[in-house]
Amino acid sequence: KQEVTQIPAALSVPEGENLVLNCSFTDSAIYNLQWFRQDPGKGLTSLLLIQSSQREQTSGRLNASLDKSSGRSTLYIAASQPGDSATYLCAVSERLNKLVFGSGTILRVKS
C-alpha cells in the first residue's frame, strides 16, 4: 500500500527566506506527483504536477523535483512571502489517477 510522508509537519520562517518542503513515498510505481496548496477552510489549488518521466517543474518562485527511484520529491519556494502561508500537500497518483496524499506541511511566513 502506497504511503506518502511529508516533513516537516509545520514550518515557520521569516519573510524572504528560501525554503524546502519534503515529500517521500513508499512505492516508486507512480504516474505523477502533484503539489497542492490549501488555505484554511478552502479547497485545493494545484501548484505543480511532475509526470513520472520528468525530474522537475518550475512555476514562478516554485520549483518541484522528483526522484522516483528514491521515492522523494522536494518543493522549493524562493524568497518566501507572507502570502505563501498555507498548508502544502503532496500527492502521488496511482492507476486511473487515484491520488494518495501526505498529511501536509503547514507553512507560516512571518513579516
Partner 1 sequence: NAGVTQTPKFRILKIGQSMTLQCAQDMNHNYMYWYRQDPGMGLKLIYYSVGAGITDKGEVPNGYNVSRSTTEDFPLRLELAAPSQTSVYFCASMGDRATYEQYFGPGTRLTVT
Choose which of 92, 102, 107, 109 interacts with partner 1 (CB under 8 A): 102
Residue 98 found at the interface with partner 1 (CB under 8 A): yes
Residue type, 78: A
Phi and psi torsions of 83, nearest 5° = -65, -10
CA dist 54 → 4, 59, 72, 107 (Å): 19, 15, 13, 26
Q: Which is nearer to partner 1, 34 or 73 (CB)?
A: 34
Q: Which stretch binds partner 1 (CB under 8 A): 12-20, 60-68, 72-80, 101-109?
A: 101-109
Rg value, the chain, Cα: 13
Angle made by CA atoms 106, 101, 96, in degrees to the nearest 5:
150
Q: Which is nearer to partner 1, 15 or 94 (CB)?
A: 94
Q: Which three cell numbers stand for residue 33?
A: 506527483
Query: Where in 27-86 is the site for partner 1 (CB under 8 A)?
Result: 31-32, 34, 41-44, 46, 49, 51
Residues near partner 1 (CB under 8 A) are: 4, 31-32, 34, 41-44, 46, 49, 51, 89, 91, 93, 96-104
